[in-house]
Structure 1
């Protein structure tokens, strides 16, 4: 149960996009470990997609150069750590979804009813990407544009 119950305090040293960041964990005597972290339960617009840069900027405002509390859930196919992330005491997934800057990742939506409720609120208030007439989900965008 080690990987599923792992909690880490790390410094956020990079923001890749609206749902991926780079952290530095550990202490100087034992050495630092740099890891890419994919936020569990959400999928933000791709960088070239509408609201992709806004999603990245919002995540940077929430977390860049701050301590992040990570609750790890394993790794994805790209080797990134999958984790629940809190910066400044805020649940980052909830902040991104509530701002209309990320979707609840559909395969996991049933596990996160609170995020689904935030997404409904963001959609109803036309926040962020929901201000578009027909926002395109990132998984559909990636399928149509396979080369990043």
Structure 2
């Protein structure tokens, strides 16, 4: 009996501590594009966050500006919880952003048709289902007949930049013959 009472008290204490755990909240102070934002920590440190497992159209791509506006309307100026602390090659924190009301910004972007599930980095069945529903309902970018995934768009842009550089380098160098040389060659 004593063991059961002690166990029950311990369980209640663990639950109480878990529920009262102070979670750090950040203020959204900037939205760079649909899946990248700037958060301000309680100690006034700026943190650039790349939303995990999703990929929005690039700003110069169809629906890129709409994705940015959607993200801004959803969370700019609001307090959010940041889940995750990995960093990408650009030094951005990669994670999920959750509003105080529990709305997961990453999931909401996919659900409303403003992002793809980034399958290279995500195996989430929930995100896959949200994307499929958005496609079926032709929401956001799914209004297009054949939307280009942002990873393909970036790859194509990079290829075009490289080709442009190669063309500049391969331009034939038109050397002018000196007048003296031209005179001696002509018979």
TM-score, normalisation: structure 1: 0.88
Task: Tell me the C-alpha RMSD between the 2 structures.
Answer: 1.2
Report the CA distance between 1:8 and its aligned residue.
3.6
Q: 2:40 aligns with which of 20, 24, 36?
A: 24
Aligned length: 136
Report the CA distance between 1:37 and its aligned residue.
0.2
Q: Which has the larger radius of gyration?
A: 2
Structure 2 distance, partners of 1:107, 1:8, is 29
Paired position in structure 1 for 2:181: none
Contact 1:11 1:23 in 2 (8 A): yes
Paired position in structure 2 for 1:34: 46
Structure 1 distance, partners of 2:66, 2:57, is 9
Paired position in structure 2 for 1:51: 63
Unaligned 5+ runs, structure 2: 1-22, 162-187
Would you say 1:109 and 2:122 are equivalent positions? yes
Paired position in structure 2 for 1:128: 140
Paired position in structure 1 for 2:106: 93
Unaligned 5+ runs, structure 1: 1-6
Q: 1:72 aligns with which of 55, 68, 84?
A: 84
CA shift digits 1:57-84 (9 cap, x unpaired): 0000111000010012410000000011
TM-score, normalisation: structure 2: 0.70
Whose helix proportion is higher, 1 or 2?
A: 2
Aligned-partner SS, 2:132:
helix
CA shift digits 1:56-111 (9 cap, x unpaired): 0000011100001001241000000001111242100111001100000011332x
